[in-house]
Amino acid sequence: MLFSEIVEGIELEEQTHGSCEITSVEYDSRRVHEGSLFVAMRGSTTDGNTYIKQAMGKGAAGVLTDSREVFSNALSRWPHLCIGLAQHGRRSLAIASANFYQHPERTLKMTGVTGTNGKTTTAYLVEAMLNSAQRTSVLVGTIEYHVAGEVRVSPHTTPESRDLLELFHDAVGRGATEAVMEVSSHALHQGRVYGMPFDVAIFTNLTQDHLDFHRTMERYFAAKQKLFAGDGSPAPRVAVINVDDEYGRRLAKFSLTQGSVVAEYGVEKGDWRAEDVVLEAGSTRFTLKTPHGSVAMHSNLTGHVNVLNLLAASAAAHARGLSLEQIAEGSEQLAYVPGRFQTVPNEASITVAVDYAHTDDALLNLIKLSRQLVGNNQRVITLFGCGGDRDITKRPKMGRAAARGSNLVVLTSDNPRTEDPAIIMEQALRGVEEIGTDCIVEADREAAIRKAIAAAKPGDIVLLAGKGHEKTQVLATGTVPFDDVEVAARVLQERA
């Protein structure tokens, strides 16, 4: 494809001739090869413009830059190079990639899920419902990617636009007609989904998280809102919004001003509601009430939060053309979501559940669910930690959340990164001490899991919160393998 064809639609301040033949679009100089177009853009932590020399050394045929100085220097150094000066680096990457991959996003009907908690489970549920109705799909999310049934590693919840479009191109080639993806606030803020035409957008909730990046809750909300305004594309045709959530009610009003059809869901409010809810371990039943009729629902997922996730997925699936009967059938197809109240089999008559809960709101919901399952005669033991190099203000809040409803808290380490785990735990411990719940402090996560399980008696629930599906622990010395499920299984086997 010619350089001139790839840059079509990009806001260019200047450009040279466009006759270069381009073989790939890359933003990482390490992936550049003979004939590549290198998109050099300024990011939040690095500036791709500093790597143009390396890209040229690997045979780049063209360059897009968002730096006038770099444009001028490259032009004088490589006068025959196809080079463009773009107003927006990431937008240029998105448009160039869409052109190169022949716009797979226009073939796929896209459903995006955003919110603090529940994105992954809701996305999995939507995918299960679509697949049950014989739709071929691609799923992009935190745990893994699914491409027409093939499971792939997920390096990012929402990848850069170039990687996302390559994935979509592959999926379309395999017959996919639907895309379901988690859309993070970072991705929305940075323009990683610029130009993506979402047909349906889902908002689950908004609670404190990522304030190390967004600084305030209003900025955090503004990033989420971009999905419902459209970024380089029209607003979604249908907006599915949790109106039990304060921010959701604001977003519902906003979406109406954007011309979207708004499907409101919630337990207390909303047109999509659950009645006669019955929650058991490994089972949730309710009657789904909608403006289009009612249907009996059953899911293998457990808890109040999953009732909300099921409502969100149901409204989105209906917006994608599924009948209520197809939605009910699809909801039963999902056995579990990795790292979301994932129980570890054992013969000790205790429930050990691994969950990704890493905010105070998620912890509260997780513990509330566990208390509903065991009643007041058995104990809930909650193990948690707080991530390093992240928002420190949520640490005492998480401590308070873990202590409320738990009989015992085990405070440990959770991806401390460059921070001292002892300092992180001290900050979280303040919240636990405010409530007064018994607490064991153990920085070594494997030792902490051992202590949590050792403290449990038959009938108790042990919650291993924070890491969920993750397979590593990020330390100051580097990243090491660590899997809560694998460690818990080994400890339980030794106990048996």
Residues 232, 303 within the same domain: yes
Give the whole-angstrom CA distance, residue 393 versus residue 428. 9
Given a cut of 80, whether residue 273 has pLDDT beyond it is: yes
Q: Judge whether 114 and 201 are in contact, CB under 8 Å.
A: yes
Domain shared by 438 and 481, yes or no = yes
Residue 268 has a pLDDT of 76
CATH number of the domain encompassing residue 474: 3.90.190.20
* Continuous H helices in 48-87: 52-57, 68-77
Q: Give the model's pLDDT for residue 17.
A: 80
The answer to whether residue 320 is domain-embedded is yes
Mean local confidence (pLDDT), 386-414: 96
Q: What domain range is 428 assigned to?
A: 342-495
**Residue 84: CB atoms within 10 Å:** 26
Q: Quick one: pLDDT band at residue 213, thresholds 50, 70, 90?
A: low
Q: Are residues 351 and 491 located together in one domain of the fold?
A: yes
Q: Within a domain: residue 347?
A: yes
Show the tokens assigned to 148. 């027409």
Judge contact between 15 and 29, C-beta under 8 A.
no
Q: What's the CATH code of the domain at 182?
A: 3.40.1190.10
Same domain flag for 351 and 475: yes
- Bridge-based pairing of strands 472-475 and 478-481 is antiparallel
Residue 71 has pLDDT above 90, yes or no: yes
Model confidence at 485, in pLDDT bands (50, 70, 90)? very high
Q: Would residue 232 count as lying in a domain? A: yes
Looking at residue 427, its amino acid is: Q
Ranking 11-15, 306-310, 425-429 by mean pLDDT, the lowest is: 11-15
Q: Is the pTM of this model over 0.85?
A: yes
Same domain, 251 and 118: yes
Residue 211 has pLDDT above 90, yes or no: no
Domain match, 304 and 352 both: no
Distance of CA 32 to CAs 39, 76, 139, 187, Å? 10, 22, 27, 23
Reported as a single tens digit per residue, the pLDDT across 298-329 is 999 988 899 999 999 999 999 999 999 999 99
Residue found by looking up tokens 């606030």 in the block: 185
Instruction: Give the C-alpha separation, 135 to 473, whole Å.
Output: 37
Distances from the Cα of 242 to the Cα of 57, 105, 268, 357, 475, angstroms: 51, 26, 10, 19, 36
> Does 485 reside within a domain?
yes
Give the CATH number of the domain where residue 32 resides.
Answer: 3.40.1390.10
On whether both 309 and 350 belong to a single domain, the answer is: no
In tens, the pLDDT along 115-139 reads 999 999 999 999 999 999 999 999 9
Task: Report if residue 337 sits inside a domain.
Answer: no
- Whether 465 and 355 have beta carbons less than 8 Å apart is answered as yes
Rounded distance, CA 266 to CA 372, Å?
A: 20
Do 475 and 346 reside in the same domain of the chain?
yes
Q: Are 364 and 476 found together in one domain?
A: yes
pLDDT range class, residue 212, cuts 50, 70, 90: low
At residue 44, does pLDDT exceed 80? no
Q: What is the mean pLDDT of the chain?
A: 94
**What's the pLDDT score for residue 214?**
60
Could you tell me if residue 336 is inside a domain?
Answer: no
Q: State the pLDDT confidence band at 207, using cuts at 50, 70 and 90.
A: confident
Of 298, 331, 364, the domain-final residue: 331
**Domain-ending residue, one of 66, 82, 100:** 100
According to DSSP, the β-strands at 273-280 and 261-265 are unpaired
* pLDDT of 196 above 80: yes
Same domain, 302 and 364: no
How many domains are there within the chain? 3
pLDDT of residue 375: 84
Helix axes 304-319, 119-132, angle to 10 degrees: 50
- The pLDDT tens digits for 315-372 are 999 999 999 999 999 999 999 899 999 999 999 999 999 999 999 989 999 999 899 8
Which residue, 63, 84, 100, sits at the end of a domain?
100
Judgement on whether residues 71 and 53 belong to the same structural domain of the protein: yes
Q: Are 405 and 483 contained in the same domain?
A: yes
Identify whether 477 is part of a domain: yes
Q: Which residue has the tokens 């401590």?
A: 399
Q: Residue 242 falls within a domain, yes or no?
A: yes
